[in-house]
Amino acid sequence: MMTVSKKTYDLLFRLILVGDSCVGKSSILLRFSEDIFPTFISTIGVDFKVKTVEVNGKKIKLQIWDTAGGERFHTIVHTYYRGKNGIMLVYDITDEKTFEHITGNWLRNVLEHANEDVILMLLGNKCDLDDQRMVSKERGESFAQENGLKFLETSAKTNINVETAVMTLVEDILEKYPESGQASNNVDPAKNKNIEKSICFC
Q: Using the rule CB under 6 A, which residue among 156, 166, 170, 174 binds ligand GTP? A: 156
Q: Radius of gyration of the chain from Cα atoms?
A: 16
Burial class (CB in 10 A: 0-12, 13-18, 19+), 103: middle
- Least distance in Å: CB of 182 to ligand GTP? 31
Least distance (Å) from ligand GTP to the CB of residue 92? 7
Q: Provide the minimum distance between the beta carbon of 128 and ligand GTP in the complex, in angstroms, as a whole number.
A: 5
Q: Please, which residue, 25 or 101, has the CB nearer to ligand GTP?
A: 25
> What is the per-residue binding string for ligand GTP in 181-200, x denoting contact by CB under 6 A?
-------------------x
Site for ligand GTP contains 161 (CB under 6 A): no
Binding segment (CB under 6 A) for ligand GTP, from list 56-64, 66-74, 115-123, 179-187: 66-74
Q: For ligand GTP, which residue of 129, 137, 147, 167 counts as binding (CB under 6 A)?
A: 129
- How many separate helices (H) and strands (E) can be counted in the chain? 6, 7
Helix (H, G, I), strand (E, B) or coil at 54: strand
Q: Per-residue x/- marks for ligand GTP, 86-125, CB under 6 A?
A: ---------------------------------------x
3-state helix, strand, coil in the chain (%, to 5): 35, 30, 35
Position among 49, 51, 137, 157 found at the interface with ligand GTP (CB under 6 A): 157
Cβ pair 118, 87 in contact under 8 A: yes
Pairing outcome for strands 150-153 and 119-125: parallel
Asked if residues 16 and 84 have their Cβ atoms less than 8 Å apart, the reply is yes
Handedness of CA 115, 121, 126, 132 (dihedral sign): positive
- Binding-site size, ligand GTP (CB under 6 A): 23
Q: Please, are residues 162 and 154 in contact by the beta-carbon 8 Å criterion?
A: yes
In terms of Cα–Cα distance, which of 59, 57, 119 is closest to 87?
119
Stretch of residues binding ligand GTP (CB under 6 A), selected from 23-31, 79-87, 111-119, 171-179:
23-31
**Chain residues that interact with ligand GTP, rule: CB under 6 A:** 21-27, 39, 41-43, 68-70, 125-126, 128-129, 155-157, 200, 202
